[in-house]
Amino acid sequence: MSSILKIKDVNKNFGKISVLNDININIDKGDFLVLVGPSGCGKSTLLNCIAGLEKINGGEISINNKDMSEVAPKDRDIAMVFQSYALYPTMTVEKNITFGMKVRGISEEIQKKKLNEVAKQLQIENLLKRKPSQLSGGQRQRVAMGRALVRNPKLFLFDEPLSNLDAKLRVEMRTEIKRLHYDLGASMVYVTHDQIEAMTLATKIVVMKDGFIQQIGTPFEIYNYPENIFVADFMGSPAMNLIGATTKKEKDHIKIEIKLEDGSTATLIEKSKLKLPKDIIIGVRPENITENGSKKDSNFQYISSKVDIIEPAGSDTFVVTKLGNKEVTARFHSETDVKIGSKVKFSFNLQKVTYFDPKTGQRIK
């Protein structure tokens, strides 16, 4: 498959402040790439560099195998959807959507045809005569997407398009964007700080921090095999539990010892051939710590610990305890009858555990 977007060794500075450092990303036609990370990590700056709204200080960005160094934003064959919608307030929905085509000298017949296609696709046929001030946030976002869709560009760029919407509408619009991607087979680059959005939309995720790429992978890879402690902690809700522990090498296994709140020690047995340092951090997702008796399998081992907090969450109940001086969240059944203060057997799925080196923060492979 040919690359639609290549970002090679890209650097960007604002004065003496380095915002992007040696960024390398490839996306194929039809990919949905999500740039995710905390505020200030450089993801929106990178999107603006792809769009040509910011000049890069080093490296190369090419779209459809064409170097974009000297290409103006309007000639890059991209369409951008902004967080603020950026609609013309004095124009109707219809004119907002067709304005770009009119400026490019596209015939009225084609304008009308494209308008009808996207209005139907986005279910906004009944809004065409309204002005932006008469629309809800979700409707405005649909119009902004409609304006991008009529361009039929090589690449769609989305800059936190759902962050102004309420929670329910965000979920609906997420589904809408996912459906659009599937129907159009379009290539998309999408910026968000919301890791749930990243996990649900992406075919490929780029996790960023302080202008550096931390990991690139599919949602499955990022979630199950985080490269470092930052990715493990940032991706997932609730986040991955990160528990400090020490190891002791035995003949055919490794003993992993975890301090409990009462000062005693719990032991897990690791039988894989991994080389683990003396001090480690165990990464384990809440769904891989369940209640005793819910799983009968040799991969499951148990730690008895006191329940600190119980958080009912509809289909699940999150149970919090303390292990290795850290709060640890387990995912129990919704009908669990555990009580705060009681001692409970927590069942760990050791097949799903990730180990990190506390010195480097990197995953131990």
pLDDT in tens, 136-190: 888 888 898 889 888 888 999 999 988 877 888 888 888 888 988 988 888 999 9
pLDDT at position 298 is 66
CATH number of the domain enclosing 276: 2.40.50.140
For residues 297 and 266, what is the distance between their CA atoms, to the nearest angstrom?
Answer: 19
pTM: 0.89
Alpha helices in the chain (DSSP H): 43-51, 93-103, 108-121, 137-149, 167-184, 195-201, 219-224, 229-234
The domain of 228 spans 3-234
CA angle 216, 217, 219 (to 5 degrees): 130
Q: Judge if 69 and 210 occupy the same domain.
A: yes
Question: Does one domain contain both 220 and 265?
Answer: no
Domain assignment present for residue 132? The answer is: yes
> Is there a domain that residue 43 lies in?
yes
Q: What is the pLDDT of residues 203-217, one digit of tens each?
A: 999 999 999 999 999
- Domain end position, chosen among 234, 265, 292: 234
pLDDT tens digits, residue range 176-193?
Answer: 889 889 888 889 999 999
**Interatomic CA distance for residues 207 and 198, integer angstroms:** 10
**Given pLDDT bands bounded at 50, 70 and 90, which one contains residue 358?**
very high
Query: What is the 3-state secondary structure of 157-205?
Result: EEECCCCCCCHHHHHHHHHHHHHHHHHHCCCEEEEECCHHHHHHHCCEE
pLDDT at residue number 211: 97
Q: Reply yes or no on whether the pLDDT at 83 is more than 80.
A: no
Same domain assignment for residues 157 and 221: yes
Distance CA 222, CA 215 (A): 7
- Helix then strand then coil, in percent of the chain rounded to 5, is 25, 35, 35
The 10 Å Cβ neighbour count of residue 11 is 16
**pLDDT score, position 296:** 61
CATH number of the domain that residue 86 is part of: 3.40.50.300
The tokens for 280 are 């480690």
More confident residue, 184 or 95: 95
